[in-house]
Amino acid sequence: MTWNLKQKTWIFIILFTIITMFTIVLLTNYLYEQFYIENQVNQLKARGDSLEEVYYEEEENNKEEFHRFIVFMSRCAAAQIVYDDSVEVINGTIPSDIPLLDEESRLTEEEMIKFEEDETLILTRSGIDKDYLIIMNPLLNDDDVVESAIVISTPVTAAFAPFQSLRGILFVGLAIAFLVIVFVLNKVANYVIKPIEKMIYASKFMSKGDFSKKIDVENNDEIGELATSFNYMSTSLAEADMKKQEFLGNVSHELRTPLSYLKGYSEVLLEQKENGEPLDTKYIEKIHSEGSRMENLVHDLLDLARLEGDKYPMTLAPIPFAQLVEDVVERMSLEAKKRGMEIRLDLNNDTIINGDEKRMEQVVINLVENAIRYGKHGEYVDLMMDIKEDKAILKVIDYGEGLPKDALDKLTERFYRLDRSRSRSSGGTGLGLTIVKEIVKKHNGSLTFESEVGKGMIVSVILPLFEG
């Protein structure tokens, strides 16, 4: 049989409460016996010692004061006090007026030795219907021989009588305490378990792909934080699932289009071949172009998947950042001239960063390509580099059409395109800025965008300087 958390908690509560109550009862009995009974015995012994002193102070033939004192003590104490000078007592027999069992009425050999050596005996004997506490003070004559004894006796139940009256109150109190403890622990258990049960309930839906279930956060403590974290996790998983679905849809779309072109162009070429017509090279070029585009898309997807992993290897080394930018611009200046554009540089040659040279080159190429692609024909592309505190800042500026501010946050999303047809004609895969963002993040940097419609775009790459 499998116990759930609530059942286990209840079993713990009940066992804990029972063990606690049982321990309290045992401890109470122990303390009563150790302190109260011991105190009673000491009081009775003290009375016997007092009577013994009075006995020895009185004259041999005048013991009236001693006997009156015995009567007085008997009335004050919850015990029977007698003076016994019988031969039986002297020989080790407990007075017969104490109703003991026959085998309990005589002192043992060890007790008799102590008695004859003037040592007070504290005894517990079994009676006919109850047990007795007996204290015997031996009284000696001038020859140090026992001639009589003071015998104090009281039923053991009498010593426990005060506790008997309290026992009922104790049990009532324990019963009330039991109910209070169960009530409080039940509240505490529900306080902790209910949110967990809600999480279990919600997690079952999450395992089936339904992330809509949320937990009401009613607590302001660690349980509330756990519930909030669970809701946050659920929201994050929902967003991740939505992005996954969107990603799969985008990949399918991006691959479907070139595949349909490939199929269409190849069918035309096959038809031309069957009809004995010369093959049209423009269709062959289209097939090659679409094949290259698919190759770039697959390459970018694999590149992005590696970058998003935690174990992607980065070969970090000091890089003269300005020199790297100049090398990239030198290679891309021809492409800019084809579009009637000029790339202008304003760089800080003292800028040294710690990074992966190939990956940082990839970042600069992508940003310059975008600036050329979306800049205005006949305008400039400006690259500016500066140092601010412990950061290197590279700005890539174009003077094209720009973007609305609400589109800037989406630029690094996978396959995001403000104008899909324009992106297709320009040959982009929609993953370039996503890859740039991941590379910059791997270098503990940040990527920002500034733009207004009609005023172009400023892309800033902020990276930590090399600490040599």
Q: Is there a single domain that holds both residue 299 and residue 330?
A: no
* Total length of the chain: 468
387: left (phi over 0), alpha (psi -120 to 50) or beta: beta
Q: Is there a single domain that holds both residue 32 and residue 143?
A: yes
Strands (E), 21-145: 80-84, 121-126, 131-140
Q: Is there a single domain that holds both residue 125 and residue 103?
A: yes
Q: Is there a single domain that holds both residue 452 and residue 325?
A: yes
Domain coverage including residue 430: 317-464
Q: Is there a single domain that holds both residue 228 and residue 336?
A: no
Q: What's the rounded Cα separation, in Å, for the pair 322 and 210?
A: 50
- What are 373's two structure tokens? 């692609």
In a domain, 405, yes or no: yes
Of 274, 308, 342, which closes a domain? 308
Q: Is there a single domain that holds both residue 9 and residue 137?
A: yes
The CATH number given to whatever domain includes residue 414 is 3.30.565.10
The total number of structural domains in the chain stands at 3
Of 148, 163, 178, which closes a domain? 163
Q: What's the rounded Cα separation, in Å, for the pair 94 and 10?
A: 57
Q: Is there a single domain that holds both residue 289 and residue 322?
A: no
Q: What is the pLDDT along the chain (468 residues), one digit of tens a residue?
A: 566 666 777 787 778 778 887 887 777 777 666 666 677 788 888 888 888 888 888 766 667 778 888 888 887 777 888 888 888 888 888 888 888 888 888 988 898 999 888 899 988 888 888 888 899 999 888 888 888 899 998 887 655 555 556 666 777 777 887 788 778 777 777 777 777 777 777 878 777 777 777 777 666 777 777 778 878 888 777 777 776 776 676 667 667 767 777 888 788 888 888 888 887 888 788 788 777 777 767 776 776 677 766 666 778 899 999 999 999 999 989 889 988 899 999 999 999 999 999 889 989 998 998 899 888 887 899 999 999 989 999 999 999 888 888 888 888 887 776 554 444 455 566 778 888 898 899 899 999 999 988 888 999 999 999 886
In a domain, 454, yes or no: yes
| Residue among 311, 308, 448 at smallest CA distance from 391 | 448
Q: Is there a single domain that holds both residue 301 and residue 328?
A: no
